Structure 1
């Protein structure tokens, strides 16, 4: 345990877990790394309300605890990325369930969901029983971020990464349009018809992707904060 860091001093696994990720902003940092590595400034932009100093402290603590690790890309980019360790990635089911549980909290705070929360909401709302009808590889281009969703064998996997090969269908839009689709304000077809979004692929694959976004997001009992 880090010197000077608060601790519950309790051998219970829940208490020990909270010693690692219980500080303010820690779990939200983990949430924003679930879909892939990020730079410091990207994390800062995705966490409205956190100061650079607090974010630096949380990252340092999570790295020290083995939940997050740093990766330097080296020359010529000299970019430092933060990513979850294997142990940190094991928090995904816990966070998805926490999001579902938290959605039933009495008061709903004001504010807009970020792109990672929207994508995780689609994942949280995925129905394995419908996976056969939705199987495929799909690309989502939202502003400057690219995500690849793979549906197969009753599971959905999503990562913030460019597709390594061909995809069945792709959907491109800005964050506001993606938010409207995921919150059920408009359908994918309406977004495309209005010119706010672009959809490519075979007709069947585009329909599967639209169905994945619409039904998974609508079925999700939560929208991760």
Structure 2
């Protein structure tokens, strides 16, 4: 491992923190859950991290077998970073950590959020019971970044890319989508202000949002 700092503890949880406990490491993993990214894409998803720190974290995660670097063939010929199979196993860890964190009364909901962080929140907050008999496909358009979301049989599937025939296409930005997802603003208000546009079945979008009931925060100490 590139990171020589250690808890010197045989506990597996302590060892896991040796591997991914450094500042930014788990957020780098979060940004790669939906597929490979270039260095510049990672910077866009984590604007507060400096390039040297990101380089260091990627090197440490590579050395630990969590991330690998791969060079694309022509015409791109650029390098991308992606999670290894073992690195992908961190997804449920991040999902459950997010569920735990969403009950905090101290979280700043006005802070910036990346597209990948939003998709992790969708995965964590999805309530199969609330989805009922919903069977629909959506495309979320965040600039050049397109995300396909499918709800069927009480299951939520999320992937980067388009869907051939979505029930609704939602065009927005992460901040505006986070506002309707967290129930800080209604879809109707966002449509009226044109912070969000919907092509297709608006009712299906309302039903999608109903699949994510908000968790109650703990009482402030």
Tell me whether the two structures share a fold, i.e. TM-score over 0.5.
yes
Query: What residue in structure 2 maps to residue 58 of structure 1?
Result: 57
Query: What residue in structure 2 maps to residue 130 of structure 1?
Result: 130
* Partner Cα separation in structure 1 for residue 55 and residue 216 of structure 2: 32
Residues 209-220 of structure 1 aligned to structure 2 (within 5 Å) = 209-212=205-208, 214-220=209-215
Greater helix share, structure number: 1
| Secondary structure, aligned partner of 2:5 | coil
Q: Please report the TM-score for the alignment, with normalisation by the length of structure 2.
A: 0.86
Query: What residue in structure 1 maps to residue 162 of structure 2?
Result: 162
Where does structure 2 lack aligned partners over 5 or more consecutive residues?
A: none
| Secondary structure, aligned partner of 2:68 | strand
1:143-200 CA-partner distances (Å, limit 9, x unpaired): 221101122232212122233x322221112333223222323322332333332212
Seen in structure 2, the aligned counterparts of structure 1 residues 139 and 170 have a Cα distance that, compared at 3 Å, is: same
1:95-153 CA-partner distances (Å, limit 9, x unpaired): 11111222344533572222222222222111011334322221100122110112223
Q: Is the 8 A contact 1:146 1:162 kept in 2?
A: yes
Residues 27-42 of structure 1 aligned to structure 2 (within 5 Å) = 27-42=26-41
Greater Cα shift, 49-58 or 177-186 = 177-186
Q: Is the 8 A contact 2:130 2:211 kept in 1?
A: no
* Partner Cα separation in structure 1 for residue 187 and residue 141 of structure 2: 14
Query: What residue in structure 1 maps to residue 170 of structure 2?
Result: 171
* Partner Cα separation in structure 1 for residue 184 and residue 175 of structure 2: 11
Deviation at 1:220, TM superposition (A): 4.9
* Partner Cα separation in structure 2 for residue 18 and residue 185 of structure 1: 34
- Higher RCO structure, 1 or 2 (CA under 8 Å, sep 6+): 1
Q: Please report the TM-score for the alignment, with normalisation by the length of structure 1.
A: 0.84
Query: What residue in structure 2 maps to residue 152 of structure 1?
Result: 152
Query: What residue in structure 2 maps to residue 121 of structure 1?
Result: 121
Greater Cα shift, 106-115 or 69-78 = 106-115
* Partner Cα separation in structure 2 for residue 221 and residue 48 of structure 1: 29
Deviation at 1:71, TM superposition (A): 2.4
| Secondary structure, aligned partner of 2:113 | coil
